Amino acid sequence: MANVELIKKLRAQTGLGMHDIKKALDESNDNEANALVLLKEWGLSTVAKKSDRATSQGLVESYVHGGRLGAIVEVNCETDFVARNDEFKAFVKDIAMQVASMNPQDVEELLKQDYFRDPSKTIEELLTEVISKIGENVRISRFQRFELGV
């Protein structure tokens, strides 16, 4: 049976539901590393199931650095409820900062880049985490980067 403190720790770390965490810990005999691997695998299957859903809501967000560099991004989700969610808003802001700092040429290149806040994961992995936590399909639609004098 899963340890309550370990469940709390993994919940804080992943943002996933307690039921899923408990199930992963039970299947991995309370091995934290193995439970994280299971949760990641399950998250990927969840993302695949949601990938066909329409994303007609979302946010347009901008980030300006020092008045000389800026980016504007459009990130879509399924419902306006999620678009108002603080976690979704923070994700969209981070994507705008990523575009400003790393200057990707297109969404495909952006998804392959290391996340500026945590280089151990890519933007695609971050997107997968957000989809797993929020429970809706999320898509980075488009962006534009501006730099003074370029």
Instruction: Give 40: exposed, middle or buried? Use CB within 10 Å, 0-12, 13-18, 19+.
Output: middle
How far apart (Å, rounded) are the C-alpha atoms in residues 1 and 51? 33
User: What local confidence, expressed as pLDDT, does residue 69 receive?
Assistant: 96
How far apart (Å, rounded) are the C-alpha atoms in residues 31 and 137? 30
Tell me the CATH class for 57-147.
alpha beta
Q: Is the pLDDT of residue 138 over 70?
A: yes
| Coil/strand/helix, residue 2 | coil
Q: Is the pLDDT of residue 1 over 50?
A: no
The model's pLDDT over 59-81, given as tens digits with 9 standing for 90+, comes to 999 999 999 999 999 999 999 99
Per-residue tokens: 69: 């560099």
Greatest CA separation found in the chain?
Answer: 61
Q: Which CATH number fits domain 4-50: 1.10.10, 3.10.20, 3.90.1720, 1.10.8?
A: 1.10.8
Q: Is the pLDDT of residue 46 over 60?
A: no
How far apart (Å, rounded) are the C-alpha atoms in residues 105 and 136? 26
The model's pLDDT over 87-136, given as tens digits with 9 standing for 90+, comes to 999 999 999 999 999 999 999 999 999 999 999 999 999 998 898 888 88
Taking the whole predicted model, whether its pTM rises above 0.85 is answered as no
How far apart (Å, rounded) are the C-alpha atoms in residues 119 and 142? 22
Distance of CA 25 to the CA centre of its chain: 23
- Mean of pLDDT over the chain: 86
Break the chain into its structural domains and give their ranges.
4-50, 57-147
Phi, psi of 98 (to 5 degrees): -60, -45
